[in-house]
Amino acid sequence: MGKVPKKRSIADKVRKAKTSTEIKNNPFEVKINRKKFDILGRKSKHDVGLPGVSRSKAINKRKETLLKEYKQKNKSNKLIDRRIGEYDAKMAPEDKILQRYAMERQRVHDKKDLYNLNEDEELTHYGQSLAEMEKFNDLMNSDDESEEKGLLSAELTASHFGGGGGLLKKKTSGDQQEEEGSHRAKSRQELIEELIQKSKQEKRERQVQKEEAQELTEQLDKEWKSIQALMVKKTPKAESDDKPEEKPKLEEYDMMVRELGFEMKAQPSEKMKTPEELARELKEKLQKLEADRLRRMMGDEVGDSTQSQVHMSADDLNDGFILDKEDKKTLSYQDGKWNIGEADEGEEEDEGEDEEEGESGEDEESEAEDGDEEEEGEEEEEEEEEEEEEDGHSDLESEQESEDEESKQEDEGASAEPTKTLSIEELKAQQEAAKAELPYTFAAPESYGDLKGLLHGHTPDNQRLIVARTQKCNHPSLAAGNKLKLQKMFGFLLEYIGEVATRSPPELTTIDKLIPEVYTMCQMFPEAGCKALQTILGDAGHSMEEVLEVKGHVAFPSLDMLIYLKVTALLFPTSDFRHPVTTPALLYISQALTKCPVRSLQDVTSGLVLCCLAVEYVSFSKRFLPELVNFLAGTLHLAVQDKTSLGYTVVPPFRPSGKCSDLLVLSNSESCKNWSKKSLPLSSTQHLDLQNDLDRDHHRLSCLSTCLDLVKRCCLLYKDLVSFACIFHPIRTLLSKHLPAQTLPELLQVGAKEDRNTARSFSYFFRFSPSRCLLDYGKKRGSTREEREKERLQHKYKKEFKGALREIRKDSRFLAREKLNEVMNRDAERKRKVRELFGSLATQEGEWKALKRRKRK
Amino acid sequence: MAPTKKRNVSSAKTNQQSVKKAKIDINSKVDSVLESKKHANDVFDILEVLESEKEKDVIGAVSACSKLFCTLLERKELFRGKLPGEEEALSGEFSAEDKYRIFMRHRYNSCVEMLLEHLSHELYGVKDSALCCLMKFAAGEGQHPLEDLDWSEHYSFPRELILAVVERLLSKTTDNSLLISRFQEFLEMEDVRYYVMSSVRENVGKVMDKNKGAVVPLYQGNVFTLMSNISLPSKESELTNFMVKQEAKHEDWKAAKLIEHKRVFERMWLGFLKYKLPSNMYKKVLVILHDSILPHMSKPTLMIDFLTAAYEVGGAISLLALNGLFVLIHQHNLDYPDFYKKLYNLLEPSVFHVKYRARFFHLANIFLSSSHLPVYLVAAFAKRLARLALTAPSTALLIVLPFIYNLIRRHPACRILIHKPSTEDEPLEDPYLMDEEDPVECRALESSLWEIKTLQKHHHPDVAKAAMMINKPLPEQEDDISEVLEITTYEMMERDLKQSQMKSIPLEFETATQLLKGGGDVLGQHFCLD
């Protein structure tokens, strides 16, 4: 192993000795890369290679770099060559010398300053020592020297040196070759002189500048002082420049600056916004949100802006709440106050409530509490709990409670006088009022049962108030655990909504009233809201899937699910390309529309509610929902009397004919005469109480009109789609052929006709053009410049990467070899030494023996 | 169990005691009968209990009978050969021993008859025990044949008994699926299965002829349950589990040869499928046809008639017939004219909604994977699928879009559907004819897949993304359809529900004030709260 590099080094030596032509002609050195094909017009660079040469080159290079590094590996001290321009190939040798000399001079000069009298070299000019002159100049410089003097001296030097001016010019032009050519004869001496002169001149110029600046500063200062009294509100920035110059008066100046700074602060930073400005701001904010929404609709990646946007919308909500006459305003104000001082908090809150309720039950009590500020928070909480307990018990006890309150009030004494004088009737009336009145603080419910108990038996408006107050009392900024409590409460609230919707009859007004609260809470806790609705949707989807697996079809979702879907649309943006809540919700709707067979009028109604929801979901984004169109076509199909020759295909869950396929056919064509369009109640999705045929027919007509309106909306939504005509083909045939005018009542007819017209007009509007679908296909070659550039760079990168890898491998191989060499050398050395020792010992022994032998002799 | 108890609520305790007593009684009687021929007449008592009303008694009696007669069969105390009439036996010149045997044989026969009656009993417990007992008898008879083996070719097997059992199992009035699945354990024995198969064939022929080929749903249901429970082993060497082992020439026994099994199996199925089937039965047969019937037939090609007929029916049945046809075409060189035309016509809007959607697309994928298909055909399929995609639910779209892409990948000539080099004569209407049944005539190649452009606006992000794929050159790699074939809506929902917990959730910024407001007020316009 050890011999291989040695051999190679010998070979290298031999190679070095040979000339390049010799090597090239040597067939053993040349490697010819055989080409498989001759390609016209391609120049091949690598048809002949000299592996030996290139290898030895590589090894030499490594020896110079890698090996050196390796040898220096664990050594901390090293030799640094600081000679100027030693390794700078660009520098001309003359330059190098110059600079080095300058350095040398400088050093000597420095030394000279330090009382060094003994100089090796003294330069003279007209018999005068140059050093002297320099000294003089320096002195001059250090003192205040006028411009003229400087100029004069410059001129002087120029005249003194005669041709020096020309030399200078040439030098500055940097034309070194010429310089070398013409002035080679000129001695070093001259060059050096020039150099010195140049440096002096520069020095002088600097001095002059400095002087000027100082003068100007002084002048400015004077002026400033004169107008200082007048210009109190001048910006401090202007002064800050002058600051360093004015050394003696620093403190005074500082004081002044500070003064100015304070005066600045006293000024109003922002003026009050005018209503127009506010409106504009709001508009801008909304525009931004809208832009965000559009971006999400397109399915772009959501950036950081969303985060801020979420916060923004939370703020926005607060604003909205002011408009909505919510007591959110008090709350936010309260927040602001809370951080500074707690003093006014209770009062604020009470006032807010006063305004809303217009009565003051516990006002006195809380006002009394205002006195002791420190304990207020605790007390309030205690009170909350107390009241919560009382409320939790039931309303039956509230009479007792109110009596207690009465007695409390009496104890207070402040407003007790009038109460005492009240007659029994009045007392009773007050008790009634107290009973009806709601407590002001609530503890957050710990379980769903708690919430139910809290809301049970109240009117919808009061329920909303209760929720609002609970939320306010437990605002996350008030205590650490409140956030969690409210998040839980949101889940309970949703559950409550579901339960209320499943009651018979469903108490939808309650839900309606609770919506703003739900919205507020969702804005506060998007994650919790998202999770709660996701759970609901997931469960619903799962149960639907399970039933489907077993039976192949499922019943329409019940009313609570419909409400949940609507609430989802209210809380989250439906237009997003992908949204963790609305996307599954829409999927659920579409699934329900495809898998739920229509068996009764209730089912038709449910289906139409789902269709309405689906239209709402896609109304902004205009996304295509095939299930929706299918369902609408199927619903219209239900109204077709004669089902023998259909010009269209009905998509499941509808069937072309059979049981339940003419649910919407009127039993009596006369019944449409006294029909008028009314909104259908949502509860009709659950149970329908229709006694006679007339009622049933009216319901059918309502359904049909709803359906036609939805068709119209869909037409408008999808009119821009390429395949509009194709999508609405079944509905068009249905309306034009199978739902003749006479079977539909007048009012509906209008709608139907309109639909037909819109459909037709849009069908002409649409033009099929394959060019829309024109697509570039196959591998891209002659694409844009950027792409080509990118491709080229990628290719290059790949090549470089491979090359680097190879180099690294070679490096490590080289290093390994070196290490081995080292070891071998060390061993050989040791062996040699050992042998030497043995040899010397042997000779000693031999001598000793010889001596002995001789002695014996 | 339960009804019996209810019936005897009043005297539950005493009744239980009496049952216990009766059991002891019966068992002791069996013992006494077996002990000595003197007590032979006790058999009558046992048989009497067999006809009792109470389930427990009957079951007890059944087990007693099985014990009694199995022992007698073992002891060869039942008369063998042609059985003389009872009267004749008494008067004839038989030895006392023979007389006893004849007597017992008669009792045995009547017992078998009663048990067969019990097979159509309304209580499952009774049916179950009767069936087990009968099969025990069959095993006993197999071991100790009651018939004289007068010629060597005849192998001893209680064929009549099996035939009778099968006949009872295949009831025309009740659904016997539970009992039949109980019977399955006996079908694991090779010889039983063999003879059951031949009995089924006989029985079906007889019954259906009697009904003049009309549909008898219950009966056919029973037959199907029984037949679908029969599965043949794949190798001859696996035929080891016999109920009756023949002493002589076991190897030559028909029931010991797989080829014979296959033949009987085939005849049985063909005999069954010959007659008109109710449509749900049709589907059931077709569902299992390709993997549990065709491989076990000796000549699968005999199924061609059935399959082609089913393929002609249309709708879901055609979809299912595809599978069987595929096996025949693929493995048995069936040449089916107009196969692709029919496949093309199977593509209807309902194809995305049926239960067998996954199976259909799996097969269609295989059929269309051939590289020898003409371009017009592939283009017609792609175009039709694209057109149908306009009415398809999201889950189906996730299958259809990669399917179309795969078609285009396999047949690069189809790229003309998504890229037309020249566009001078831009047609105003889509040249494709949706109603044309023949893929040759439908002018799909003149059209383009503009439907996919519409689907890019689909409401579900996954579908929209899949549709967007067409905007860029398709990658060379084919999409794996098998992943999405079985996808359900819930799985799609879960994708969104599970992920994106870490990202912030965008919220609606329009403040919600009322339930019915918002989103264009569509709901509010048509519905009110009360």
Tell me the per-residue pLDDT of A256-307, one tens digit each, with 9 for 90 and over.
Answer: 777 776 665 555 555 666 778 888 888 888 888 878 877 777 766 544 433 3
Scored b (16 or more CB within 10 A) or e, B107-130 reads bbeebbebbbebbbbeeeebbbbb
Q: Across all residues in chain A, what is the average pLDDT?
A: 72
From the list A526, A577, A581, the residue facing B461 with the nearest CB is A577
Instruction: Give residue A156's pLDDT band: very low, low, confident or very high (50, 70, 90).
Output: low
Inter-chain contact B507–A680, Cβ cutoff 8 Å? no
Residue B508: inside a domain: no
On whether both B141 and B166 belong to a single domain, the answer is: no
Question: Is B497 close to A534, i.e. CB distance below 8 A?
Answer: yes
> Looking up tokens 């400087």, which residue turns up?
A150
Write out pLDDT tens, residues A6-64.
555 666 666 666 677 777 778 888 888 888 888 888 777 778 888 888 889 999 999 99
Would you tell me which residues 462-501 of chain B have a C-beta closer than 8 angstroms to some C-beta of chain A?
464-465, 470-471, 473, 488-490, 492-494, 496-497, 499-501
Apex A738 CA angle, A733 and A743, nearest 5: 140
Query: Within this chain, do residues B44 and B133 fall inside the same structural domain, yes or no?
Result: yes
Set of chain B residues whose Cβ sits within 8 Å of the Cβ of A321: 511
Those residues whose C-beta lies under 8 Å from the C-beta of residue B136, and which sit 6 or more positions away, are B66, B70
Task: Spell A111-142 as b/e; 16+ CB within 10 A means b.
Answer: eeeeeeeeeeeebeeeeeeebebeeeeeebee
Q: Is residue B227 part of a domain?
A: yes
The pair of three-digit structure tokens given for residue A22, joined into one six-digit string: 């010799």
Residues of chain B with C-beta less than 8 angstroms from the C-beta of A526: 504-505, 507
Distance from CA of B419 to the nearest CA of A (A): 5
Q: How many CA atoms lie within 13 A of A226 on its CB side?
A: 6
Question: Quick check: B100 and B36 in contact, CB under 8 A?
Answer: no
B427 and chain A in contact, CB less than 8 A = yes
Q: Which residues of B touch A289 (CB under 8 A)?
A: 509
Q: Above 80 in pLDDT, residue A699? A: yes
- How many angstroms separate the CA of residue B357 from the nearest CA in chain A? 13
User: Is B418 within 8 Å of chain A by CB?
Assistant: yes
Which chain B residues are Cβ-neighbours of A324 within 8 angstroms?
511, 513
State pTM to two decimals.
Answer: 0.59
- In chain B, count H helices and then E strands: 24, 1
- Between chains, do B497 and A613 touch, taking CB under 8 Å as contact? no
**Which residues on neighbouring strands pair with residue A124, listed in sequence order?**
A129
Range in A65-79, A682-696, B363-377 with the lowest mean pLDDT? A682-696
Radius of gyration of chain B (CA): 34
DSSP reduced 3-state for B429? coil
Residue B432 contacts residue B442 (beta carbons within 8 Å) = yes
Q: Supply the pLDDT for residue A733.
A: 80
Distance CA B190, CA B180 (A): 17
Minimum mean pLDDT among A176-180, A661-665, A759-763, B207-211: which range? A759-763
Cα(A825)–Cα(A376) distance, rounded to whole angstroms?
A: 90
Distance from CA of A443 to the nearest CA of B (A): 25
In a domain, B169, yes or no: yes
Give the one of A523, A590, A780 whose C-beta lies nearest to B393's C-beta.
A590
Q: Are A376 and A342 in contact (CB under 8 A)?
A: yes
**Peptide bond connecting A268 to the previous residue in cis, omega within 30 degrees of 0:** no
Residue B454: list chain A partners with CB under 8 A: 624, 721-723, 727
Label the pairing between strands B527-528 and A680-681: parallel
Q: What angle do helix axes A448-455 and A376-393 make, rounded to 10 degrees? A: 80
Residues sharing a CB contact under 8 Å with residue A462, sequence separation 6 or more, in sequence order: A438
What's the Cα-to-Cα distance from A550 to each of A544, A547, B224, B319, B355, rounded to whole Å? Answer: 10, 5, 22, 21, 11
Asked if B123 and B55 sit in the same domain, the reply is yes
| R_g of chain A computed on alpha carbons | 49
Provide the residue type at B473 as one letter: P
Residues B177 and B207 in one domain: yes
What would the two tokens of residue A200 be? 């002096």
**CA A675 and chain centroid, separation:** 56
Cβ atoms of A191 and A98 within 8 Å: the answer is: yes
Task: Give dist(CA A558, CA A544) in Å, integer.
Answer: 12
Asked, for residue B179, whether it belongs to a domain, the answer is yes
Q: How far apart are CA A735 and CA A755, in angstroms?
A: 8
Q: Which residue, of B148, B169, B193, is where some domain finishes?
A: B148
- In this model, does residue A397 exceed pLDDT 60? no
In a domain, B458, yes or no: yes
Domains: count for chain B: 3
* Token pair in block for residue A9: 């080094």
A594–B530 C-beta distance less than 8 A: no
Number of cross-chain residue pairs from A and B with Cβ atoms under 8 Å apart: 284
Mean pLDDT is lowest, of A190-199, A216-225, A647-656, for A647-656
Same domain, B155 and B266: yes
B121 and B245 part of one domain: no
Give the domain range for residue B469.
349-421+430-498
- Residue A249: pLDDT band (50, 70, 90) is low
B176 and B143: one domain? no
Task: Give the gap in angstroms from C-alpha B110 to the nearest C-alpha of chain A.
Answer: 46
Strand partners, A31: A49
B113 lies in the same domain as B209: no
Measured between CA atoms, the residue of chain B closest to residue A649 is B349
Put simply, the answer to whether B507 touches A587 (Cβ < 8 Å) is no
Q: Which residue has the higher pLDDT, A332 or B108?
A: B108
Expressed in percent and rounded to 5, the helix, strand and coil fractions of chain B are: 65, 0, 35
pLDDT one-digit tens code per residue, A608-656: 889 998 988 888 888 888 888 888 888 888 887 777 777 777 777 787 7
Residue of B74 and A178 predicted with greater confidence: B74
Residue type, A127: G
Domain boundaries, given as residue ranges, for chain A: 551-762
B111 with B159, same domain: the answer is: no
Helices B316-332 and B357-367, packing angle to 10 deg? 40
Largest CA distance in chain B: 110
Q: Which residues of B touch A649 (CB under 8 A)?
A: 348-349
Q: Which residue among B259, B276, B293 closes a domain?
A: B276
In angstroms, the CA B320 to CA B310 distance is 8
Considering the domain architecture, whether residues B39 and B169 belong to the same structural domain is answered as: no
Do B27 and B126 share a structural domain?
Answer: yes
Query: pLDDT by residue (tens digit) across B117-171?
Result: 777 777 777 777 888 888 888 777 777 766 655 544 456 677 777 788 877 777 7
Nearest residue of A to residue B509 by CA position?
A: A313
B458 touches chain A (CB under 8 A): yes
The segment with the largest mean pLDDT, out of A272-281, A423-432, A807-816, B378-387, is A807-816
Considering the domain architecture, whether residues B157 and B136 belong to the same structural domain is answered as: no
Interface test with B, best of A773, A779, A780 (most B CBs within 10 A): A773
> For residue B458, what is the DSSP state?
B
Would you mind telling me the total number of residues written for chain B in this entry? 530
Kindly indicate the confidence band of residue A154, based on its pLDDT and cuts at 50, 70 and 90.
Answer: low
Write down the pLDDT at residue A214: 93
CA distance, residue B253 to nearest chain A CA (Å):
46
Half-sphere exposure of A731 (CA within 13 A, CB side): 32
The separation between the first and the last C-alpha atoms of chain A, rounded to the nearest angstrom, is 54
Residue A806 C-alpha, separation from nearest chain B C-alpha, in angstroms: 32
Give the separation between CA B143 and CA B137, rounded to whole angstroms.
Answer: 10
The domain boundary, picked from B98, B118, B148, lies at: B148
